[in-house]
Chains A and B, each alone.
Chain A
Amino acid sequence: MSAIVKPQTQGLTQADVARIRANFPILAERPHGKQLVFLDSAASSQKPVQVIEAMDDYYRRYHANIHRGVYHISELATEAYEEARASIARFIGTPCAAECIYVRNATEGLNLVAYSWGRSNLKRGDAILLTEMEHHSNLVPWQVLAQQTGAQLRFVPVADDGRLDLHDLDNLLDGVRLFAFTAVSNTLGTINPVRDLAARARAAGAVSVVDACQAVPRMPVDVTEWGADFIAFSGHKMLGPTGIGILWGRKALLDAMPPFLTGGGMIGVVELTKSTYADVPARFEAGTPAIAEAVGLAAAVRYLEAVGMERIHQYELSLAGYALERLAQVPAVKLYGPPMSDRTGVISMTVGDIHAHDLASILDSEGVCVRAGHHCNQPLMEKLGVPATARASFYLYNTPDEVDALVSAIEKAKRIFKIA
Chain B
Amino acid sequence: MTDNTFTGMDELYRDFILDHYRNPRNAGTLDNPDATFEDLNPLCGDKIRMDLKIDDGVVTDVKFKGRGCAISQASASLLTEQIKGKSLAEINKLGKEDVLANVGINISAARLKCALLGLKVLKSALALKYVEEPDL
Contact = CB atoms under 8 A, between A and B. Distances in A.
Contacts of A418: 18
A366 interface: yes
Interface string A366-401: 100000111000100100000110000000000000
A355 B69 contact: yes
Which of B3, B18, B44 has the most CB atoms of chain A within a 10 A radius of its CB?
A: B44
Contacts, number: 59
A200 interface: no
B42 to A, nearest CB: 9
Nearest to A353: B22
Contacts of A353: 22
Nearest to B73: A355
Given A357-B114, A417-B18, A362 B9 contact: yes
A266 B29 CA distance: 57
A365 B9 contact: yes
Interface of A: 32, 353-358, 361-362, 365-366, 372-374, 378, 381, 387-388, 412, 415-418
A355 B68 contact: yes
B70 A355 contact: yes
Size bin of chain B's contact surface: 20 to 34
B68 A357 contact: yes
Contact of A366 (B5, B67, B71): B5
Interface in B1-30: 1, 3, 5-6, 8-10, 12-13, 18, 22
Contacts of A356: 69
11 contacts: A32-B8, A355-B68, A355-B70, A357-B69, A361-B108, A374-B45, A378-B45, A387-B67, A412-B5, A416-B9, A417-B18
B30 to A, nearest CB: 23
B13 A416 contact: yes
A415 B46 CA distance: 23
Nearest to B15: A418
A358 B44 CA distance: 11
B136 interface: no
A361 B11 CA distance: 13
A366 B10 CA distance: 13
